[in-house]
Amino acid sequence: MNIALNLGKKIVALDHAAIPREALHWAKQGILDTVGVTIAGAEAACTQMVAQMVTVGEAAAPAPGGGLQGGGALLFGFGRRVSALDAALVNGTAAHALDFDDCSNTLGGHPSAPILPGLIALGETRGASGRDVILAYLAGFETETAIAKGVNFHHYEKGWHPTGTLGTFGAAAAAAKLIDLDAERTATALALAVSLASGVKANFGSMAKPLHVGHCARNGLMAALLSEQGFTARPDAFEHRQGFFEVYNGAGTYDPERIGEGWADPFDILDPGLAIKLFPCCASTHPAIDAMLKLRLENDLNAENVAHVVSWTHPRRLAHTNRPDPKEPLDAKFSVQYVLARALLEGRVGIEHFEGGAFNDPDVRRVMERIVAEPHPKAIMEDTKHFFAEVTVTMTGGRTVSAWVDQPVGRGPESPLPPGVLAVKFKNCAGRVLTSEAVGELLSLIEDLDAVSDIRQMTAIIGTGRPKVCARGHFPVEPGQDGYYSRIGNC
C-alpha cells in the first residue's frame, strides 16, 4: 500500500464538478471565518514577534480591476508584503493566535488555519482565481481529515497537536492542487510533509500553540513548492517501519485502510462538518460555556447568588482545560474555570477577556474559586461524540439547577450558527484592524468568492483597508457597538 500516492491520485482527480452546492457553501464559510480571525490575530503579541522575523518583500501596487501587481504576499493586518513562505508562517500564526478559528471532530483540531494562509499566499503569487482556491482548500481539508481517520484518537491522546501535525498534510495537498502537480509529485509533497510535521500538546496555553499552525502552513507550502522543482522523498514515508504511522502513533494504534474510505463522499466539511467558534478560546470549553449561559439566562444567576459550580465534560476535553489558576492570557483560553466565570459574570466571552491582565481580574478570580471541573462519569472514551457538557449550579439559597449541552452551537451543520452570526463575528474580528467600509467590501467578496477572477482582489482590500495610523504607527481606538477595542490602539 502506497498511502502518499493513493492520496495524490485522489487529490488530482478532485475537480469542480465533484463539489456539491453544500460543500461550496461551507468552504466559503470556513474561508470567511479564517480570514476574519487571521486579521484580528495580527494584533496578537505572538504574531507581532513572528512578523519581526521575516524580511519585507517588494512592494505591490494596486492594479486595474482591483488586483495587485508586484512581488510578495500580504501579511494580513500589517500592510506589507513578504515571500509566500514567510506570509504563510506569519498569517498561519495569526490565524490561530486567538484560538477563534474553526474546528473539526475528525481532525481533532483546527482544519482551515493550517491550509489557508499558505494557499492564499501561493494564490497571490500565481494569480489564482477564487474558484481554484476553494477547490484546493477542499482538497487540503479532505486530505488532513482522511489521514486523521487512520491515526486518531490515539494520535491526539498520545500528545500530538493534530492541527500542527496532520494540518501540514492539508497545507501540502492544497498547495499541490493549486499549482496542478501530478499524482506522483503530489505524493512527494505529502512524503516531504511527513518529515516536516510537528507540534505537541504540552505547549497548549502558550505562544507555541499558534506557532504550530504558522509552522505547518509554511512547511506544507514549502513541501509542494519543492516537489514542483523535482525534490525527492521516500514514496513509503507513511507506511515505512520508521515512517509516520510507526513513529508518530506506534504499532497497533493506526489503521491505514481507513484513510481512503469515503473520500469526498461526503466531503468531511459536510459530515461530520465544519465547526465554527462563537468564543475565542479552546473549543473544549464551549459546551460548558453554552450551558452556563443557558442557566444564567433562565435563573438570573450572578456572582452574589451562586455558591458552587460543577462542570462535567468528556475526559478527553478536560485533560487540557482543567486549569483553575491560569498564569497568562493564552493559558486562560484553556481554563474552563475562567471562561465559566466570565460567562456567569458578563453573559459572554469575548476577545478582550484574554488580553493583558484580564485573566487576573479579582471579581473573576473570586468566582473561579467556586468552580470545580470533573470528568463526566458517563463519558465513553471510544465515542466520537465528545463535545458535550453538563453544568450544575448550587445557588446560595440551596437550590440546584443543571443544564446539559449535547454539542455547542456552531459545532457543524447539525448545530449551525443562527443566521447572520458568522457575519457579525467576521465584522467584529476584521473591524479591529480594517475600516468598516473595507470590512463590508471584504465580506461581500468572500461570500461570492467562487466568482472572483483573482485572489489578489481579496488581499488588495485587506492590504489597503487599514485605518489611518498615528505618528507612532498605532491604529486609533474606536469602540464599535459590540464593545470591542483595538488592543494596540493606545496613542
Report pLDDT digits (tens) over 318-350. Answer: 998 999 999 999 999 999 999 999 999 999 999
Report helix, strand or coil for 294. helix
> What's the alpha-carbon Rg for the chain, to the nearest Å?
22
Task: Using alpha carbons, select from 454, 463, 461 the residue that is nearest to residue 123.
Answer: 454
CATH classification (class only), 3-273: mainly alpha
pLDDT of residue 385: 66
DSSP string, 425-474: HHHHHHTTTS-HHHHHHHHHHHHTGGG-S-THHHHHHHHH-PPP--TTSP
- The pLDDT confidence band at residue 387, using thresholds 50, 70 and 90, is confident
Helix ranges restricted to H, 266-414: 286-299, 315-318, 329-332, 336-346, 362-368
In the chain, where the domains are located: 3-273, 283-405
C-alpha cell at 116: 489557508
In single-letter form, the type of residue at position 314 comes to H
What b-and-e string marks burial along 379-398, b requiring 16 or more CB atoms within 10 Å of the CB? beeeeeebbbbbbbbbbeee
Chain centroid to CA 436: how far? 24
Which residues 6+ apart lie within 8 Å of 26 measured at CB? 267, 269, 270, 273, 274, 413
Task: Using alpha carbons, select from 335, 369, 371 the residue that is nearest to residue 353.
Answer: 335
Specify the higher pLDDT residue, 81 or 56: 81
Distance CA(222)–CA(192), nearest Å, equals 9
Report helix, strand or coil for 35. helix
User: Which residue do the cell numbers 492541527 mark?
Assistant: 163
Mean pLDDT score across all residues of the chain: 91
Distance CA(436)–CA(426), nearest Å, equals 11
Cis peptide before 467 (omega within 30 of 0): no
Percent of the chain with pLDDT over 70: 90
The mean per-residue pLDDT over the stretch 432-457 comes to 97
CATH classification (class only), 283-405: alpha beta
Q: Is the pLDDT of residue 111 over 70?
A: yes
pLDDT of residue 79: 87
Classify residue 8 by its DSSP letter.
Answer: H
Which residues 6+ apart lie within 8 Å of 276 measured at CB? 29, 30, 33, 102, 103, 410, 417, 422, 425
Distance CA(160)–CA(197), nearest Å, equals 10
Rounded (10°) CA dihedral 203, 205, 208, 212: 80
Q: Is the pLDDT of residue 71 over 80?
A: no
Helix ranges restricted to H, 197-251: 208-228, 244
pLDDT of residue 467: 67
Chain centroid to CA 214: how far? 11
Q: pTM score, two decimals? A: 0.90
Q: Is the pLDDT of residue 122 over 80?
A: yes
Report helix, strand or coil for 160. strand
- The dihedrals phi and psi of 62, each to the nearest 5 degrees, come to -60, 140
C-alpha cell at 28: 466559503
